[in-house]
């Protein structure tokens, strides 16, 4: 009987030890888990905060990049506008120089020959049968209005400053005498220039009505030298 009590006491002691050990182990593990969970949460929170900070920085950088791109586009447009303006100025300057006879011009075009009409003593006013300075001027102005890039009369360049006048039986342009027939050379689109001359009521039609000989020829290549 006394032996059984001792055995029971030992069993209870061992059982109590295991219960105590188990409780302490479980408690310790729970504390460790709690500590690990807390550390992990803190670490994840720190990472999340860093990610948010990086996203904010990225947004700021993106905004700066967009501003820089906008400034670059504005600058490119400004430079493009300047280049276009410069090109336009150069083109206008070259056109001015060509019209003014300051540069050599060559290309296709037409030649218009004006010759005095055959005069009969029994006819009317003899002045109606000869080519006058205004006849030459009207043909030239029609050619220029049609886009002629350069014009010459008997090989002499006509410019915006040119002056044509009649002096007896001859015509003077810029002080140089010219006699009929008058060959007016014009560089430009042959079809356009001829179309302008052949308009109803145009200079050519009026000259022909007076009996003035008007001939027009297309030319593949005309060379107009600059004025000296």
pLDDT per residue rounded down to tens, the chain (228 residues): 555 555 666 566 666 656 665 666 666 666 666 665 666 777 777 777 787 877 888 788 788 878 887 888 887 788 777 777 767 777 666 666 666 677 888 999 999 999 988 766 565 666 777 899 999 999 999 999 999 989 999 999 998 888 999 887 789 999 999 999 999 999 999 999 999 998 888 889 999 988 889 999 999 999 998 886
**What pTM, to 2 d.p., does this model score?**
0.60
Is the CB of residue 199 less than 8 Å from the CB of residue 218?
no
Q: Indicate the DSSP class of residue 200.
A: T
CA distance 200 to 208: 12
CA-to-CA dists, residue 224 to 43, 135, 146, 185, angstroms: 87, 21, 18, 8
CA distance 185 to 156: 9
Helix (H, G, I), strand (E, B) or coil at 30: helix
According to the model, what pLDDT value does residue 93 have?
A: 66
According to the model, what pLDDT value does residue 45 have?
A: 76
Counting beta carbons within 10 angstroms of the beta carbon of residue 133, is it exposed (0 to 12), middle (13 to 18) or buried (19 or more)?
A: middle
CA distance 136 to 2: 156
According to the model, what pLDDT value does residue 20 have?
A: 63
CA-to-CA dists, residue 205 to 143, 188, 214, 215, 222, angstroms: 14, 21, 9, 11, 25
According to the model, what pLDDT value does residue 75 have?
A: 79
According to the model, what pLDDT value does residue 53 have?
A: 79
Polymer length in residues for the chain: 228
According to the model, what pLDDT value does residue 49 have?
A: 79
According to the model, what pLDDT value does residue 67 have?
A: 83
According to the model, what pLDDT value does residue 176 have?
A: 92
CA distance 110 to 136: 15
Tokens describing residue 197: 């001359």
According to the model, what pLDDT value does residue 136 have?
A: 95
According to the model, what pLDDT value does residue 68 have?
A: 82
């Amino acid at each position: 009987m006394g032996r059984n009590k001792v055995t029971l006491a030992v069993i209870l002691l061992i059982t109590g030890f295991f219960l105590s050990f188990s409780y302490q182990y479980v408690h310790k593990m729970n504390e460790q888990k709690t500590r690990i969970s807390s550390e992990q949460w803190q670490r994840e929170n720190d990472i999340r905060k860093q990610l948010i900070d990086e996203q904010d920085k990225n947004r700021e950088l993106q905004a700066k990049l967009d501003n820089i791109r906008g400034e670059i586009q504005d600058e490119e447009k400004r430079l493009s506008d300047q280049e276009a303006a410069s090109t336009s100025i150069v083109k206008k300057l070259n056109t001015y120089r060509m019209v003014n006879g300051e540069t050599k011009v060559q290309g296709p075009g037409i030649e218009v020959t004006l010759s005095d009409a055959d005069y009969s003593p029994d006819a009317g006013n003899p002045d109606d049968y000869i080519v006058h300075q205004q006849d030459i001027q009207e043909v030239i102005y029609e050619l220029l209005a049609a886009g002629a890039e350069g014009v010459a009369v008997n090989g002499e360049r006509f410019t915006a400053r040119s002056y044509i006048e009649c002096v007896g039986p001859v015509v003077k342009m810029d002080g140089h005498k010219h006699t009929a027939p008058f060959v007016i050379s014009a560089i430009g689109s042959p079809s356009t220039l001829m179309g302008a001359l052949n308009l109803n009521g145009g200079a050519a039609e009026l000259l022909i009505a007076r009996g003035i000989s008007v001939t027009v020829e297309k030319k593949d290549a005309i060379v107009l030298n600059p004025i000296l």
